[in-house]
Amino acid sequence: MFETIYPASIVIFALLLLYLLSRFKLIPQSKTGLIERYGMYYKPISPGIHFLVPFVDKMVVFDVKKVLNLNREIVEIQGEPRASLSLQVSYKVIDEKDYHEKNVDQFMRSLLIDVAREYIENYGTSGISQQKIALTTRFKGAILNKVVDWGIELSEIDLLMAMEIPSQQ
């Protein structure tokens, strides 16, 4: 009887030990993480080695510093393309609880397009390539108003290109 229990217990113990060792997670220095306990936000975690409670904890890892590239985004006014923009926005996550990578990038993209649309409606597109400083300042102001809501800190915004699209009338 002990001849069959002993090897089986060694196999079970080895599998259990392997599973527990797999619950140790490493977060690299350039990233940060969140622990979700029972599917709910529990706490932020810093870079290093962490042990996750089996069957209870889940870890989400993301970059602390992010860069959003918008290349040749078309700004339409009344269904007609009026301008093309290329931007690079660098930001840092400051509040991990409210951070959702895809949502921030998506909301930031739509915010920047809306700001550009409002700018073009007020000032037109003639000479828009020379008005980069004014347009960049408006982008910064709009993002800074949303920093608290999104849990980010704006590092840099660079308007790479602003170009008028001639109307096709």
Confidence check: pLDDT of 151 > 60: yes
Cβ-defined contacts of 36-42 (< 8 Å, 24+): 36/60, 41/97
Confidence check: pLDDT of 169 > 70: no
**Rg of the chain taking only CA atoms, in angstroms:** 25
What was the pLDDT predicted at 100? 59
What are the tokens at 25?
A: 């997670």
Q: How far is it, in rounded angstroms, from Cα 99 to Cα 95?
A: 6
Q: What is the mean pLDDT of the chain?
A: 83
Q: How far is it, in rounded angstroms, from Cα 154 to Cα 99?
A: 14
Cβ(42)–Cβ(52) under 8 Å?
A: no
* pLDDT, tens only, 123-148: 877 777 778 888 888 888 888 887 77
Q: Give the amino acid at 20.
A: L
Q: How far is it, in rounded angstroms, from Cα 15 to Cα 21?
A: 10
User: What CATH number has the domain spanning 65-164?
Assistant: 3.30.479.30
Which residues are CB-neighbours of 77 under 8 A, at least 6 positions away?
117, 120, 121
Higher-confidence residue of 106 and 3: namely 106
What was the pLDDT predicted at 131? 82
Write the DSSP string, 81-95: EEEEEEEEEEEEE--
Q: How far is it, in rounded angstroms, from Cα 25 to Cα 112?
A: 37
What are the beta bridge partners of residue 70?
Answer: 87
Q: Where in the chain is the domain with CATH 3.30.479.30?
A: 65-164
Apex CA 136: angle with CA 130 and CA 137, to 5°?
A: 115
**Which uninterrupted H or E stretch holds 122?**
helix 101-123
